[in-house]
A and B are shown apart, each in its own frame.
Chain A
Amino acid sequence: MTDSLARILCILIVVSFTTAGPVKAEEISLPAVEMATQEGGLWDRWTDAIVAFQRRANAEVARHMNAIDSGKSLGALFLGLAIAFVYGVFHAFGPGHGKFIIVSYFLGRDAQIGRGVVMAIQVAIVHVIAAIAIVWLADITLRAGFGIGLAEVPGVRAASFLIIAAIGLYMLYQAFRAALGYIDPSEVGHGHSHAQEGHAQDHGHAHHEEHGHSHAHSHGHGHNENHGHAHAHGHGQASEASKVESGLMAVAAGIVPCPGAVLIMLYAVANDMIYPGFLLVAAMSLGIGLTICSLGVGAILARQTALRLVEGGGTGSSGALVVRHGFNFGGAIIVTLIGLVSFVAFLDVPLG
């Protein structure tokens, strides 16, 4: 008994000595890892918060899609839609999604707030359609390779950039015409010469007081009643042209779908959840549209406010005219450059 105990003790001592020796290279050590604290400013924290939220939202959308798939339909669907919508709102804060184009466009021309809202909705709708179309053309998408290639459907992207550049050039043409006196500067973006018809003076002032913007209101608000058929017809044509222009811009800005939306749609197709997938992508696109809408409306209001401030700042109408021309040219040049530079980059042609 004593011998046995002694043997066991000896074995334990030997084992403990061999294991307590110097650390060998093949051993695994697990040091405590310190997590560095974020020391950036408010902006960095805001950006990090947006990213963290999106990371979480992305996982939640996936979780809710799986819940829908496993029979927890209605509640999971509505919650998923809400998350997808907010995901879209924050996702659109980042680069892409046509925000800069929309902002430049609306800084460069007089427009009503309603136009900004309509355009954002158009962008959102085009986004959804494009995402679904891309998935339907899954062969092309899958062959495009992983990564940014998801949205690289040849032609679509190039066409989008060329349309943007063309609209920018048209805006530039109108800005030049306004600068040379062929049209009233406030007519830029409306495509008609209403001022020359002698109506602007009659109505512009009253609208100005009411809406802070003389021309924008003169479209689409009861001109039929006040001015008879011939005049209303003229406005209708101008308004249609303007709508076509901004509609084209919305298509150009939205036609390259968000790769995130495409991935969600592909996931839906792969898991036989096409309708929920469609709704989730639509909700996400509406969220993207809301952000774009805010920026578009912000641009419209910023232009209006700047013009009003200049007009009320003692420089009078000449100062306001200079600022208006500045906005017209600035917006046109930026839109043109976005289109052309993006197209050149698409072709991979060196700029220098």
Chain B
Amino acid sequence: MLRKFLIPAFLALVASPPVLANPDVWVTTNWHVQMAGHSVTGLTLDWTFDAFASSYLFTTFDADGDGTVTNQEAQAKEDELFAPIAEQDWYLTILGDGAPVSWHLQHVEPVFEPDHFGLKLTVSFDGLQAPFAASLHDDVLFFDFSFAGDDFLTVEGPVDPACRFVAGPGEGALEGHTSTITLRCGDPS
């Protein structure tokens, strides 16, 4: 009886893709899109870390353990802590017409609260029209990015009435990315 269940399960797991998701840090995100002349020109991404990672990060910044993070304490640790994330281009991929485009990091701001550690990331790029796509994704799945509720997206500026934002799993070059937003125009599909 044991064999009947275990062997197929074992074979299924062994034959499965080598990477299965097991993130250790969970990040919920709010997205703010800047538009100009119906083109997307920038993004502000608010990361909120899970309680465990928040606690760890806050403790790390709060060097004297007094429950608050001073500017000095923040500056002392910022480079050290954010360097690994920055090396991964902040896990942000932006596509214009299906191809990756370069973006400029304008601002990074940590948000310090004991149970709520956040990161506000503002990037800009040359105006991109639909099809535009952006994703937050960690290839090694140490971080998991998910949208923060139903109203995670705000847009600043005019959006062509024929266009709409679609959130969810990525396609094409963003295949496998779960936190993706896409600006689609015209085609109702």
Tell me what chain B mostly uses at the interface: helix, strand, loop, or mixed: mixed
Shortest Cβ gap from B187 to chain A (Å): 13
Residue A6 is within 8 A (CB to CB) of chain B in the complex = no
**Chain B, interface size: which category?**
35 or more
* List of A residues within 8 angstroms of B66 by Cβ: none
* List of B residues within 8 angstroms of A39 by Cβ: 169
**A34-B165, A258-B24, A299-B10 known; A263-B159 Cβ under 8 A:** no
* List of B residues within 8 angstroms of A267 by Cβ: 51-52, 55-56
Q: Which of B6, B14, B55, B157 contacts A271 (CB 8 A)?
A: B55
14 contacts between A and B (CB under 8 A): A26-B157, A28-B154, A31-B165, A33-B164, A39-B169, A40-B169, A48-B178, A59-B50, A259-B24, A260-B52, A270-B55, A295-B10, A298-B10, A302-B11
**For residue B19, which residue of chain A has the nearest CB?**
A95
Q: With a 10 A CB-CB cut-off, give which of A94, A147, A149 has the most chain B CB atoms.
A: A147
Contact residues of A between 215 and 236, Cβ < 8 Å to B: none
* List of A residues within 8 angstroms of B144 by Cβ: 51, 54-55
Contact residues of A between 56 and 75, Cβ < 8 Å to B: 58-59, 62, 66
B interface footprint on A205-218 (CB within 8 Å = 1, 0 otherwise): 00000000000000
For the A-B complex with A55-B144, A94-B20 known, give 7 more contacts whose Cβ atoms are closer than 8 Å.
Answer: A54-B144, A58-B26, A58-B51, A260-B24, A260-B52, A266-B52, A266-B59
Complex CA distance for A146 and B53, rounded to whole angstroms: 9
Contact residues of A between 3 and 48, Cβ < 8 Å to B: 23, 25-40, 43, 47-48
Complex CA distance for A58 and B133, rounded to whole angstroms: 29
Residue B158 is within 8 A (CB to CB) of chain A in the complex = yes
Q: Which of A55, A148, A305 contacts B142 (CB 8 A)?
A: A148
**Chain A, interface size: which category?**
35 or more
* List of B residues within 8 angstroms of A47 by Cβ: 20-21
Residue A297 is within 8 A (CB to CB) of chain B in the complex = yes
Q: Which of A34, A38, A263 contacts B164 (CB 8 A)?
A: A34
Tell me what chain A mostly uses at the interface: helix, strand, loop, or mixed: helix
Shortest Cβ gap from A104 to chain B (Å): 10
* List of B residues within 8 angstroms of A332 by Cβ: none
* List of A residues within 8 angstroms of B22 by Cβ: 54, 91-97
Complex CA distance for A63 and B153, rounded to whole angstroms: 26
Residue A294 is within 8 A (CB to CB) of chain B in the complex = yes
Check A146–B81 contact: CB distance below 8 A: yes
* List of A residues within 8 angstroms of B104 by Cβ: none
Residue B71 is within 8 A (CB to CB) of chain A in the complex = no
Shortest Cβ gap from B82 to chain A (Å): 8
Contact residues of B between 52 and 98, Cβ < 8 Å to A: 52-53, 55-57, 59-60, 80-85
Residue A114 is within 8 A (CB to CB) of chain B in the complex = no
**A23-B158, A58-B50, A58-B52 known; A149-B25 Cβ under 8 A:** no
Check A43–B10 contact: CB distance below 8 A: no
Shortest Cβ gap from B106 to chain A (Å): 17
Shortest Cβ gap from B78 to chain A (Å): 11
Complex CA distance for A302 and B13, rounded to whole angstroms: 12
Shortest Cβ gap from B124 to chain A (Å): 14
Check B9–A29 contact: CB distance below 8 A: no
Shortest Cβ gap from B24 to chain A (Å): 4
Contact residues of B between 116 and 159, Cβ < 8 Å to A: 140-142, 144, 146, 152-159
Shortest Cβ gap from A45 to chain B (Å): 11
Check B60–A142 contact: CB distance below 8 A: yes
* List of B residues within 8 angstroms of A148 by Cβ: 84, 140, 142
Q: Which of A33, A58, A263 contacts B56 (CB 8 A)?
A: A263
Check A31–B57 contact: CB distance below 8 A: no
Check B168–A25 contact: CB distance below 8 A: no
Check A302–B156 contact: CB distance below 8 A: no
* List of A residues within 8 angstroms of B169 by Cβ: 36, 38-40
Complex CA distance for A259 and B25, rounded to whole angstroms: 9
Check A50–B6 contact: CB distance below 8 A: no
Complex CA distance for A34 and B178, rounded to whole angstroms: 14
Check B142–A259 contact: CB distance below 8 A: yes
Shortest Cβ gap from B148 to chain A (Å): 12
Contact residues of A between 236 and 276, Cβ < 8 Å to B: 258-260, 263-264, 266-267, 270-271
Residue B23 is within 8 A (CB to CB) of chain A in the complex = yes
Residue B111 is within 8 A (CB to CB) of chain A in the complex = no
Shortest Cβ gap from A347 to chain B (Å): 18
Check A146–B9 contact: CB distance below 8 A: no
* List of A residues within 8 angstroms of B180 by Cβ: 36
Residue A145 is within 8 A (CB to CB) of chain B in the complex = yes
Residue A310 is within 8 A (CB to CB) of chain B in the complex = no
Check A294–B55 contact: CB distance below 8 A: no
Check A266–B55 contact: CB distance below 8 A: yes
* List of B residues within 8 angstroms of A55 by Cβ: 23, 26, 144, 146
Check B165–A93 contact: CB distance below 8 A: no
Residue B36 is within 8 A (CB to CB) of chain A in the complex = yes
**A59-B50, A145-B83 known; A51-B21 Cβ under 8 A:** yes
